[in-house]
Amino acid sequence: MEKRRVLTGITTTGTPHLGNYVGAIRPAIEASRDPNNESFYFLADLHALIKCHDPKRVQESRREIAATWLALGLDTDNSVFYRQSDIPEITELTWLLTCVCAKGLMNRAHAYKAAVQDNEAEGGADPDKGITMGLFSYPILMAADILMFNATDVPVGRDQIQHIEMARDVAGRFNHIYKGQYFKLPEARIEESVAVLNGLDGRKMSKSYNNTIPLFVSEKKLLKLIRKIKTNSLEPGEPKSTEDCTLFQIWQAFANESQIADMRQQYENGIGWGDMKNSLFELVNDHLKEPRGKYEELMNDMGYVEDVMQKGAEKARAEASDLIDRLRKTVGFGSFV
Ligand code: TRP
């Protein structure tokens, strides 16, 4: 059987939080252990520039995300782990794709449309105010990420499904215009079983809501943040519902079956919120203790992490350069002689 090629990118503008871990990092690392998969995971730092013009933040986030994935046990011998900006072939492919991509397709992209709508709602004269070409053509860069390595499976959140469809569309256009099967059509993989965690205020945990619990904060800080999670005002002894309860939802994401059943019972018995928060801290901290130590070690050894990233770039470029050579000839850039 042919292996599935799984590829996904992580935009490097933030610090990984519990929601990222449960929703994306943990399933990706698990997928990379499946011998039927080839995994390509990368730091989408070219994408970061769309939202962030602070070089320090971009660099810090790149370091943190790389160290996080390594600390959590990503095996870089059995996967290709790299920084997007280390692969110039991706930027080159972006241009080849840009030149076959209909502008109208990009006009329909959700992220762009949302930005235009915000401008219109404000009633200003220019609907494109503050919108860069980076934001506008973002789906083409993402298509290049995927098509460069002929990925078959792209695990993403629902908000990204449209981008995968656009990648298929652009791939098909290129194949059609240049009369060949240069690109496979990728498929979005939406993990239904993976939890989406809520944050401190009960809304979805997200950097944009400023309600996250960073993955590798100190024990003290972790306890403090868990204690900040919003609850209702039921007293100890009063039975509580597990439904729509942020604490229980996080519990479920870390606990095994019997721990989940046990906690359900404790909710019925009226566990106090303070006790629940202490138990949740113990559970989450037990999971994170070891990788947290590893993370701290790696953050203090960037020489090692840099080496790993360079080896990843080498592996990725070995693949990318074959395809880009072929594509260069395809569009008419071969040697004169
Ligand atoms: N745009 C994706 C996000 O914001 C990150 C990303 C960039 C990506 N390139 C990709 C995801 C290629 C999958 C495949 O989440």
Residues 301 and 67: their CA atoms lie apart, in Å, by 10
Looking at the DSSP assignment, which residues form a beta bridge with residue 11?
44
Nearest protein CA to atom 4 of ligand 1, as residue: 11
> Could you report the per-residue pLDDT of 300-328, keeping only the tens digit for each?
999 999 999 999 999 999 999 999 999 99
pLDDT of residue 275: 97
Residue with tokens 């904060």: 217
Q: Quick check: 17 and 288 in contact, CB under 8 A?
A: no
Q: Which residues contact 104 (CB under 8 A, 6 or more apart)?
A: none
Nearest protein CA to atom 8 of ligand 1, as residue: 9
For the cut 80, the answer to whether the pLDDT of residue 1 exceeds it is: no
Q: Quick check: 280 and 272 in contact, CB under 8 A?
A: no
Q: Is 5 in the pocket of ligand 1 (CB under 6 A)?
A: no
Per-domain residue ranges for the chain?
Answer: 4-196+302-331, 216-297
Q: Tell me, in angstroms, the distance from the centre of ligand 1 to residue 247's CA.
A: 29
Pocket test for ligand 1, best of 10, 39, 159, 207 (most atoms within 8 A of CB): 10
For the cut 80, the answer to whether the pLDDT of residue 4 exceeds it is: yes
pLDDT of residue 124: 86
Atom of ligand 1 nearest to the CA of 11: 5
Provide mean pLDDT across the span 31-55: 96
For the cut 90, the answer to whether the pLDDT of residue 158 exceeds it is: no
Nearest protein CA to atom 11 of ligand 1, as residue: 9
CATH top-level class for 216-297?
A: mainly alpha
Q: Tell me, in angstroms, the distance from the centre of ligand 1 to residue 323's CA.
A: 21
Q: Tell me, in angstroms, the distance from the centre of ligand 1 to residue 44's CA.
A: 7
Atom of ligand 1 nearest to the CA of 84: 9
Q: Is 143 in the pocket of ligand 1 (CB under 6 A)?
A: no
Mean pLDDT, all residues of the chain: 96
Residues 81 and 76: their CA atoms lie apart, in Å, by 6
Residues 239 and 242: their CA atoms lie apart, in Å, by 10
Q: Quick check: 15 and 299 in contact, CB under 8 A?
A: no
The strand pair at 187-189 and 153-155 is best described as parallel
Please give the backbone phi and psi of residue 19, each rounded to the nearest 5 degrees, phi first: -65, -45
For the cut 80, the answer to whether the pLDDT of residue 115 exceeds it is: yes
- pLDDT band of 97, cuts 50, 70, 90: very high
> Could you report the per-residue pLDDT of 139-157, keeping only the tens digit for each?
999 999 999 999 999 999 8
Q: Tell me, in angstroms, the distance from the centre of ligand 1 to residue 47's CA.
A: 8
> Could you report the per-residue pLDDT of 188-200, keeping only the tens digit for each?
998 877 778 999 9
Provide mean pLDDT across the span 274-285: 98
pLDDT of residue 26: 95
Choices 3.20.20.140, 3.40.50.620, 3.30.420.40, 3.40.50.300: CATH for 4-196+302-331: 3.40.50.620
Nearest protein CA to atom 13 of ligand 1, as residue: 8
